[in-house]
Amino acid sequence: MKHATEINITFLSDGFQLSGTLHLPDIPLPPIVIGSHGLLSAGDSPKQISLAHECNQRGMAYLRFDHRGCGQSEGDFVNVTSLESRYKDLVRAIEWIQKRPDIGKKIGLFGSSLGGAAALSVAGTYQVDAVVTLAAPVTGASILKSADASASASTDLKGLPISFYQKCLSFDITEKLPSVSRVLIFHGDADTVVPVSNSRKIYGKAKDPKRLIIQKNGDHRMSDPIHQADFYENAVEWFVKILTP
């Protein structure tokens, strides 16, 4: 088992101090994967921690961080959250990594849900080497339908008004998808938050090489342990294939 070091880090994005953890394997100049978490999540999600450890064991560094307004990072969540702000945070994370003398040149991105949309947006306009997404939306409209349904049924909206979702989910990344390549796309076909049609659209518009994995009866959180194991195996292999010699 390879030795790895966990380093608490901070960097700035639009004046907000963002907090994160750099998982650094004990090898010279490793490639790195940078994670972008979902709308209501943070960088300490179990998926990101497990993915970081798996990447470390295969000789890759991993950076997980809290977007502005989330976790330990600065900012008021309701007022600073949008796809645009997540995009900016992810670009700042890349720029911060590129200044470190202990990290190699190759960069991969992992994005879950809204983080997947952020990763695809960055990959469509910024030079990265590989992308893995999980339950990523192409537009906010399909998610808004789920939020509207929850509001109508008086179910849990995490204490947030529907107006928040209408504001922060006003996006469409369709035009960026033809510029995305080297992308592995995961989605559960029973996802009631982000319909699986979003990932089929990503796959249809992205450039080769690309791969789409639809998990049967998979939900938005990927709660099935079998699906989780499949995800870690295939995601890490994708990054290894593209990022390592």
Q: In the predicted model, what is the mean pLDDT of the chain?
A: 93
With bands split at pLDDT 50, 70 and 90, how would you rate the model's confidence at 155? very low
Mean pLDDT value of segment 12-41: 97
Domain ranges of the chain: 4-137+175-243
- In terms of pTM, does the model score above 0.75? yes
Mean pLDDT value of segment 100-104: 97
Query: What is the per-residue burial (b if ≥16 Cβ within 10 Å, else e) of 33-68?
Result: bbbbbbbebbbbbebbbebbebbbebbbbbbbbbbb
Residue 203 clears pLDDT 50, i.e. is over it: yes
pLDDT of residue 153: 42
Distance CA 178, CA 153 (A): 37
**22's tokens:** 């750099």
Share of residues in the chain with pLDDT > 90 (%): 83
* Higher-confidence position of 150 and 111: 111
Mean pLDDT value of segment 135-150: 76
**217's tokens:** 């009866």
Give how far Cα 241 sits from Cα of 59, 103, 217, Å. Answer: 12, 18, 28
Distance CA 93, CA 63 (A): 8
Distance CA 209, CA 152 (A): 41
pLDDT of residue 139: 94
**221's tokens:** 């959180």
The answer regarding whether domain 4-137+175-243 maps to CATH 3.40.50.1820 reads yes
> Contact, 212 vs 200, CB < 8 A?
yes
Mean pLDDT value of segment 35-46: 95
DSSP H helical segments within the chain, as ranges? 46-57, 77-80, 83-98, 114-123, 141-152, 162-168, 197-205, 225-243
With bands split at pLDDT 50, 70 and 90, how would you rate the model's confidence at 48? very high
pLDDT digits (tens, 9 = 90+) for 51-75: 999 999 999 999 999 999 999 999 9
With bands split at pLDDT 50, 70 and 90, how would you rate the model's confidence at 147? low
Task: With H, G, I as helix, E, B as strand and everything else as coil, classify residue 118.
Answer: helix
Distance CA 167, CA 234 (A): 34
With bands split at pLDDT 50, 70 and 90, how would you rate the model's confidence at 142? confident
What is the rounded radius of gyration, in angstroms, for the C-alpha atoms of the chain? 17
Residue with tokens 């938005």: 220
Distance CA 61, CA 43 (A): 15
Taking residue 197's Cβ as centre, other Cβ atoms within 10 Å add up to: 12
Residue 151 clears pLDDT 60, i.e. is over it: no
Q: Residue 147: which of 111, 81, 192 has the closest Cα?
A: 192
Mean pLDDT value of segment 129-143: 93
Percent helix, strand and coil across the chain, each rounded to 5?
Answer: 40, 20, 40
Residue 149 clears pLDDT 60, i.e. is over it: no
With bands split at pLDDT 50, 70 and 90, how would you rate the model's confidence at 165? confident
**Which residues does 4 contact at the CB level (< 8 Å), separation at least 6?**
23, 24, 25, 26, 53, 56, 57
